[in-house]
Amino acid sequence: MTNGLATMRGVQHRLLAEPAGAPLPELDRTQLIGLLREAGLTGRGGAGFPTWRKLEAVTVAPGGPVVVANGAEGEPASGKDGLLLAYHPDLVLDGLQLVARALGARSTHLYLPAAAAGPIRAVLDARRRAGRDPIAAVNPTIAPDAFIAGEESAVVAALSGRPAVPADKRVRVTRAGLGGAPTLVQNVETLAQIALIGRRGPGWFRSAGTAEEPGTFLATVSGAVAQPGVVEAGYGVPLGELIDAAGGATAPLQAVLIGGFHGGWVPARPDLPVSRAALAHYGTSPGAGIVIALPQGACGLIESARIASYLAGQVSGQCGPCINGLPRLADTLTDLAYRRAKPGLPAEVKRLTALVTGRGACRHPDGTARMIRSSLMTFDADVVAHLHGHCTQEAVRR
């Protein structure tokens, strides 16, 4: 498929079309890390960290690492991990085995929502009988239904039998995590991509996406679309193509939230490439591929305020600036959204976003602040209108 410089950036089926049961190569640590480095795979859980670097980090210390497949998917608007676990569990588990074998893992775990556990146990049993998990038995652990339950250190806490809340980052889990061992937490989609790369090679992987952001990703498209669901595409895919793959917009679109509740609002430009490079201009990134379409007529500030209130309720409550700042931020944004004009409202929102950023054990306040800042930017006309008691979408609704 590789054709010189041209890569497939549009909607396509790779992960979602991969047959189950294909053989897995046996790779050692150096081989796997080399493959992943060449492929340029980045984490599909939202942070987008280079996968080969993470693998390397857990192999610095002697003794095998702990490998965890993270399928918690705490974000309400995301469905890709659930889809993978329900319809392509073997691909995820193959990736897990590939990594565990290569790194000499001391234990492997699967962290997933309660609803997915039953079916997964059946899959694990079948694999065990067929001898597909020779190295490591996979221990499933239930993830609580909370937004931050999928955060890396929260995952380690849950696996240790503690509440699934983030821990202080002085010692990263890659250095000491579960039981003090270096712990590799990978999103289930990342593991599935690793299995594909192991089978088909980095060149094949790079034939999709862009040169700087290779490969495909799973997007969950929802909002004002006819068929909300999971769509696979190469990075750089035009936004309009993703919307069309989800059945097309049900109404003219006003804006799109990309990257989920911790992402950012962008104008509904069909030609806007969904890639880190293009979205950086709007202060956001593809994240875990969540795309929410906002139609004309809906108020972007009200939607943002709703999301902010939800996020404020999802704090673990351990950190002072977050448990105090996020509700205040949500309340202030809600005042602006419902046109309860007070002097200096937008400035106060901006001040609070700066106040909560970087002052917590995890990135929950940072992500919330980022989404809110982007809403003030993308819906700037509404900010002005609301301060005067109007909304730009009034005309549309009438």
Partner 1 sequence: MTDALWYFGRGSGLVALVLFTIVVALGIGARSGRPIPGAGSGTLLPRFAVNLLHRNAALLAAVFLGGHVVSLYFDPYAQLRFVDLVLPFAGQHRPFWLGLGTLALDMALAIVVTSLLRRRIGARAWRVVHWLAYLCWPIALLHGLQTGTDGGTWWLRAIACLCAAVVLAAVAWRLSPSFTRFPQRAKRRVPDHRAAVDGDRGSGTGRPRHGLAEVR
Partner 2 sequence: MSESRLHIDWTACDGRGLCAELLPELLAEDDWGYPLVRDGATEPAVPRALEGAARRAVDRCPVMALRLTLSSTSTS
Which parts of this chain interact with partner 2 (CB under 8 A)? 166-168, 170, 318-322, 324-325, 328, 354-355, 358-361
Counting Cβ atoms within 10 Å, is residue 37 exposed (0-12), middle (13-18) or buried (19+)? Answer: middle
In the complex with partner 1, which residue's Cβ is closer, 192 or 307?
Answer: 307
Q: Report DSSP state, residue 65.
A: P
In whole angstroms, what is the distance from residue 367 CA to residue 344 CA?
Answer: 23
In the complex with partner 2, which residue's Cβ is closer, 355 or 396?
Answer: 355
Q: Which option in partner 1, partner 2, none does residue 168 bind, with CB closer than 5 to 8 A by kind?
A: partner 2
Of the listed pieces 33-41, 91-99, 141-149, 295-303, which binds partner 1 according to CB under 8 A?
Answer: 141-149
Nearest approach in angstroms of CB 165 to partner 1 is 5
In whole angstroms, what is the distance from residue 264 CA to residue 291 CA?
Answer: 10
Of the candidates 59, 193, 314, 378, which one interacts with partner 1 according to CB under 8 A?
Answer: 314
In whole angstroms, what is the distance from residue 154 CA to residue 185 CA?
Answer: 11
Region class of 70: left (phi > 0), else alpha (psi between -120 and 50), else beta: beta
Nearest approach in angstroms of CB 224 to partner 1 is 21
Asked whether position 100 contacts partner 1 by CB under 8 A, the answer is no
Q: Which option in partner 1, partner 2, none does residue 389 bind, with CB closer than 5 to 8 A by kind?
A: none
Of the candidates 33, 72, 84, 165, which one interacts with partner 1 according to CB under 8 A?
Answer: 165
In the complex with partner 1, which residue's Cβ is closer, 310 or 338?
Answer: 310
Name residues whose C-beta falls within 8 Å of residue 43's C-beta, 6 or more positions apart in sequence.
49, 50, 51, 54, 186, 187, 190
Binding mask 317-356 for partner 1 (x = CB under 8 A): xxxx--xx--x-----------------------------
Of the listed pieces 159-167, 208-216, 220-228, 329-337, which binds partner 1 according to CB under 8 A?
Answer: 159-167
In the complex with partner 2, which residue's Cβ is closer, 210 or 316?
Answer: 316
Q: 42: helix, coil or strand?
A: strand
Q: Which option in partner 1, partner 2, none does residue 287 bind, with CB closer than 5 to 8 A by kind?
A: none
In whole angstroms, what is the distance from residue 192 CA to residue 196 CA?
Answer: 6
Check: CB of residue 57 under 8 Å from CB of residue 182: yes
Nearest approach in angstroms of CB 140 to partner 1 is 10
Nearest approach in angstroms of CB 168 to partner 2 is 4
Of the candidates 21, 163, 180, 247, which one interacts with partner 1 according to CB under 8 A?
Answer: 163
Of the candidates 161, 343, 344, 389, which one interacts with partner 1 according to CB under 8 A?
Answer: 161
In the complex with partner 1, which residue's Cβ is closer, 158 or 256?
Answer: 158
Contacts of residues 295-298 at CB distance under 8 Å and 24 or more positions apart, as own/partner, are 295/223, 295/224, 295/249, 295/250, 295/251, 295/252, 295/253, 295/254, 296/251, 296/252, 296/253, 296/254, 296/393, 296/396, 297/251, 297/254, 297/393, 297/396, 297/397, 298/224, 298/254, 298/393
